[in-house]
Structure 1
C-alpha cells in the first residue's frame, strides 16, 4: 500500500545544512509561522516529487532531544505526537561523531528515518573516508550522501525517504533495537534521573565511537583546513575586532553608495514622478472629491510610498547579513565579541541576537532562548532593541541624505556603532545592579566556511524583503489612512493641520523633547506614531509636510525645524527609543512578564531621551 500525501520532518544539528536542504527542496513554496503556543519559528514547505505531494516540516535545529530547551521539546514532541511519515536526519559528514548523538535519539523514537549525510565535499577536504554502506548497516537505516548547497544527491534522498514512508507498520531496525535493549539494561536500577541521563549519554557515545571506527577512516594527523587558515586571521586576538568593524562598514557602504541609493533614487522617481501624478490625474478625471484625492495621493501613496522607496536599501542590508550567516562568519562574530560581552556578564553567544537585530528585533529576541541561563536571556532581551533594526533604516537614510549629503554611510555607521555601545553600557549597568550572577561558559561550534548558494541568498533576501513590503501594504497602509484623518480633522470636522487631532497629540509630547533639540509637534507626533512601526516616522512626516520622499524635498521642508545637530539627535532618539509593537509583544511572550515588558518600554524611552539630549546639548558647545 502506498500513500500520495507524505509528511516529512527535517531534523538536524545547527550548522548541519538543514536550512540549506529545506530551501533547496521548497524554494519559495514555504510558509513561516510559529509553533502552536510558542514563538519558535516554524517552517513548512511543499514539494511535488513524481506522483507524491510532500509536506516538509523544518524542525528547530538542536544537538539533542533532551527536554532542556524549547527547541528540543518541540522537535521531540513533534516526532512522537504528530508522527510524521518519515524523518530525514541531516548529518554533517565532516563532524559526524557529534551529529550522530541526535541520530541515535531520533532512531530511539521508532519513526521511519533516512540519514542525509550532508557536506560530503567538506568531509573529503578534511581527509575523511566514509563507507556509506557500512554506516547504513551499523545504524540499520538508509544513508544517502548529499551536498545540499550544490543540490547533489537530493533526488535520491527524497526517493529513499518516500520508500521508507510507504512501508506500513514499520518496526524499529534490529540494530537499533539491540542498542535500546542494552541502554535499558545499563540504566536499570539507577534511581537518580541525572545519573541515569549521564549513563545513557556515556553509553551512546561509546556506541557511536564503535560505529565511527567501523565506517569512517580519519586522517592520522589533523589536517590544516582552509577554514583554519582563515580563522587564524579573522578570529585573531587583535585583528578580529577591527576586521569585524571593517566588514560592518562595508555593509553600510554597499547599502548606500554601491547599490542602495542608486536603486532608491530610481524607485523614488517612479513613485513621486509617475504613480502619484497619474493617480491624481485619474481621480480628477472621474470627478473624485478633493478629500478622496488627498487621501489617496497624500495619505496612501505619500505614506506607503515613503516606505517602499527604501526597499533597495533594506534588500542590500539583508543581503550582507545573509552573506555573513551563510558563509559561517556570523558564528565567528560571537567568538570575536566574547571578551567584550564578558565585561557585561554575558558570553559571546549573546552577541548573535544583537547582530540578528540588524535585520529585525523580533527574531533576534526570539533567538535568545539558545542562551543557557535565564539571566542571560533576560539581559539580552532587554538590550537587543538598542541595536538598530532595518525598520529604522528609512529614517536614517532620509535624514542623513537631507542633512549630511555625501556622508550618509559615515552617519548611519555611527548610529549602528552607538546602538551597540549603548547596549553594552546598559548591560554593564544591569550586571552591577539587577542581574548579578555567575557567568556561564562560552561553548559554541565554529562551522567551516562555505561559499553561499546564490539561490539560498536570493531566498533569504526575498523572504525578508517580502515581509517589509507586506508591512508597507498592511500596517503602514492602515496607519497612513489614520494619520491622514488625524492631520485633517478635529472635533469640529475638517481643519487646518495645525489645529488637527494629530497636532494636538504632537503638541502634548513636544515639550518633553525640547532638550534634545526637536521640540516641535511634527517631530513629536512622528515619534509617537513610530511605536506602531518605525517606518511610519517617515510616512508621517511625508503626510505632515505634504512633500515627496526625496532628500531634497525633506531638506527644504525640515530646514526650518531641524538643524544639522538636532537632525542627528533625532536619529539617535529613533535609534534608542521604545521599539515597535511587534517587538513589545515578543518581549512579553519571551519574558512572560508584564513587569519586565513595561520596564523595557519605559527605560528604553528614558535612555533615548537622555542620550539624544546629551548629543544635542554637548554638540551645541561645538557647533
Structure 2
C-alpha cells in the first residue's frame, strides 16, 4: 500500500460529487446543478488521523461504457490502479438512476463505498431508505452524507480507511437465493460472491470466458469484469485481451446485461425505498410546464429576458456609484500629477490611457455581477438542464447531439470553459462543429459593449436590444451548425441523442452561488488588472505616437494608420471609421477592451455615465455613426473572432493549427457578412 491513499470520487452529474470533494479539500471548483461542468479530473489532499489521502474528483458520468471522453477518462483512471478506494457519490433522491453506475463500479473489483448524498430531499418527499438492507444487497458500506451541510464527512473517511483492503463486506444477503438455487442449474453459488448475478446462460458464458482469460493471461486482474466486457464486445477490452471466443459469444450481450442489472435495481428499490409513491415530486409538476413541447422555449427566452432586464435596471443603479468613484479617482490622480509637475506623456498615459481604459471597464462590474448572480441561481436550481432538454429537438434537426447545447449555454458565461465542455460530446465531428459555433454565444465580456451602445442609441429599449444579441448569436450558431452538417453530409445514424438527467428542483445554495459569483468577479478584476491594463497602455501608445514621435492629433498616429487600412473592408458594414478598426483589433485581446478603446480614442474617462454616453454620441453622430451603425457594431462584436484566451483553448482542443486558423477566419467572415447584410438592408429601409 502506498504512503498516500488514493481516493476517487465518482458519480452521476448533479449528484453533489464536486461539492463533497470541495468540503474535504477546500477547493473552490465550480459547482453547478447541471451536467458537463467537470470535464477533467481535479486533485486535492487531506489528512485523516495519521493517514494522508489524495482525493481525485473524476468527471460526472452515467456509466462506464466508455463512449464519451468523461467515461473513458474515469474508466482508464480506475483500471490503471491509480485509485485505492472508490467513493461512489449517489443522489439519494434519484437512487434508482444512480445505482446503475454503482453496480458497474462494484464489478470493477475495487473497494467501493456508496456515499448517499441529498438525503434531505428524500425526507422532504416523505420517503425513507433502509440503510441496513441496502449494504446487505450491495455488499459494500453505505454512508449517508450531506455535501452541502458537511455532515457525515468523518464517518465516510473512516469507512474509506477501514475498507481500503476489502472488495466487499462479505455480508451479501439476497432473499431470493433459495428459490433461484432450487431452479438454477448453474454450478456456482455466485449469489454468495457477487452483488449482481445474471441468468444461468450468461453466467455460464462468463465462467467459460474467465477460464480462457486466465489461461491466456494468468496475471489478469478482476477476470470476471473483463469476461463481462468481452461478452458485451467492448472494443477496448477486445483489443487489449484478444482471445478466441467462438462457440461462446455468438452475439453482443450488452443489452441483456444492462436489462438484468436494472431488474436487480428494481429489486433493490422495492426492498430499501419506503413510501416511494407516498408523494408525487413537485419537480414533475413543474416540468410539465417548463419542458412543455410548445411552451418550454418561449419560457426560456422570457426567463433570459428577465435576467437582462435585471442586469440593466439594477446593474445600472450600482454602476452609477462606481462611475462616481472612478471619476473622482481620475480627477484626484490628475491633480496629483499636476502638483508634482509630471510630464505630459506620463500624465496622459496614466489618466487618458490606464484610468480611462481600466476604469471604464470597472464601471460595468455591477452589470456583470447581476448577470452571473442570475445565471448561478438558474444553474443551481436545476433549470439549466431543462433548457438543454427543451433544445434537444432543434439540435437534432441541425445534425448535432442535444449535448452540444450544454457548451453553447456555457458560452453565455465565458467561451473558454464552453469550448472545454465540448469534450463531453462522444462524436469527434460533433465536437468540432460545437467548438466552431460556441464563440457565437454572447459571453460576459461582450456585455460592456451592449450596455454602452444600446444605452447610448436605444435608450428605453436597451435591455431588449441587448437580449436580441443573445438570441441572434444563438440563431447564427444553430444555422452555422446546420450548414456545416449539410456540407459534412453526416449520416443520420451517427447523431447521438441527449442523455441527460433532469435534477430535482431545489432552493439554490447561497454558499455555492456566492463562490460562483465571487470567482467570476475575481476573473473580471484579474482581467482588468492584466490584459485590459496592458491593452490600454498599448492602445494609448499607438494613438499618441506616430512616425514623428508623440502627436497631439490622433489622426496622425500609428493607430489611425492601422484603422484607415481597415476602413474599406469595414465600410460596407457601416463601420467605416478608423477609430472602430482600432477598437475591433484591440478587442482580440479581450472583448471588454473595445469599450476601453472608445474611451481612449475619444478621450472620455467616464464613458459609461450618462454624461459620457452623451459626449460620445455627440462625437460619433457628426461622423455619420447612428443607431443602425451601433446595431451593426454590436453584431460584429457578437460574432467576430473570440479573445486570445479562447483562441488558445480552441487550438488546444482542436489540436490542429489549420482548424484553429479556419475557426478564426470563419468567425471573421460570418461577423462581416451578418453586419454588412443588416446595415445594407437597414440603409434601404
Q: TM-score under structure 1 normalisation? A: 0.89
Native 8 Å contact 1:379 1:435 kept in 2: no
Partner residue in 2 for 1:172: 167
Aligned residues: 608
Native 8 Å contact 1:28 1:459 kept in 2: no
Greater displacement, 13-22 / 278-287: 278-287
Deviations 1:11-37 (A, max 9, x none): 2101212234345555665599xxxxx
Distance 1:108 1:477 in 2: 55
Inter-CA distance 444–244: structure 2 relative to 1 (3 Å threshold): same
Which of 440, 455, 475 aligns to 1:401? It is 455
Which of 594, 597, 602 aligns to 1:540? It is 597
Inter-CA distance 15–486: structure 2 relative to 1 (3 Å threshold): same
Q: Does 1:507 align with 2:564?
A: yes
Greater displacement, 391-400 / 93-102: 93-102
Secondary structure (helix, strand or coil) at the match of 1:89 reads strand
Distance 1:169 1:120 in 2: 25
Partner residue in 2 for 1:495: 551
Q: CA deviation at 1:454?
A: 1.1
Q: CA deviation at 1:212?
A: 3.6
Secondary structure (helix, strand or coil) at the match of 1:440 reads coil
Q: TM-score under structure 2 normalisation? A: 0.81
Q: Does 1:265 align with 2:323?
A: no
Native 8 Å contact 2:456 2:614 kept in 1: yes
Secondary structure (helix, strand or coil) at the match of 2:56 reads strand
Q: Does 1:302 align with 2:359?
A: no
Matches within 5 A, 1:10-409: 10-23=9-22, 29=28, 40-44=39-43, 56-79=55-78, 83=82, 86-109=85-108, 112-126=111-125, 128-149=127-148, 151=149, 154-156=150-152, 158-167=153-162, 170-175=165-170, 178-179=193-194, 185=207, 187-188=209-210, 193-194=233-234, 195=252, 201=258, 204-217=261-274, 219=276, 224-257=280-313, 259-273=314-328, 275-409=329-463
Q: CA deviation at 1:197?
A: 5.5
Partner residue in 2 for 1:615: 678
Inter-CA distance 7–311: structure 2 relative to 1 (3 Å threshold): farther
Distance 1:105 1:536 in 2: 50
Distance 2:43 2:622 in 1: 52
Greater displacement, 176-185 / 165-174: 176-185
Q: Does 1:525 align with 2:582?
A: yes
Greater displacement, 15-24 / 456-465: 15-24
Secondary structure (helix, strand or coil) at the match of 1:173 reads coil
Inter-CA distance 483–111: structure 2 relative to 1 (3 Å threshold): farther
Distance 1:490 1:339 in 2: 56
Native 8 Å contact 2:400 2:496 kept in 1: yes
Inter-CA distance 48–481: structure 2 relative to 1 (3 Å threshold): farther
Inter-CA distance 230–167: structure 2 relative to 1 (3 Å threshold): closer
Q: Does 1:482 align with 2:504?
A: no
Inter-CA distance 2–229: structure 2 relative to 1 (3 Å threshold): same
Larger CA Rg, structure 1 vs 2: 2
Q: CA deviation at 1:413?
A: 0.9
Inter-CA distance 363–2: structure 2 relative to 1 (3 Å threshold): closer
Which of 581, 586, 593 aligns to 2:649? It is 586
Q: CA deviation at 1:513?
A: 0.6
Which of 606, 615, 619 aligns to 1:556? It is 615
Inter-CA distance 27–267: structure 2 relative to 1 (3 Å threshold): farther
Distance 1:240 1:186 in 2: 52
Q: CA deviation at 1:296?
A: 2.0
Partner residue in 1 for 2:200: none
Inter-CA distance 217–525: structure 2 relative to 1 (3 Å threshold): same
Greater displacement, 559-568 / 515-524: 559-568
Q: CA deviation at 1:435?
A: 4.4
Q: CA deviation at 1:214?
A: 4.1
Deviations 1:486-522 (A, max 9, x none): 2222343323422222222111112111111121111
Gaps of 5+ in 2: 32-37, 173-191, 198-202, 213-226, 235-251
Gaps of 5+ in 1: 33-38
Native 8 Å contact 1:186 1:199 kept in 2: no
Q: Does 1:606 align with 2:602?
A: no
Deviations 1:96-128 (A, max 9, x none): 233123223434555554322112233345554
Secondary structure (helix, strand or coil) at the match of 1:67 reads coil
Secondary structure (helix, strand or coil) at the match of 1:450 reads coil
| Cα RMSD, aligned residues only | 3.1
Q: CA deviation at 1:285?
A: 3.6
Inter-CA distance 454–26: structure 2 relative to 1 (3 Å threshold): farther
Secondary structure (helix, strand or coil) at the match of 1:550 reads coil
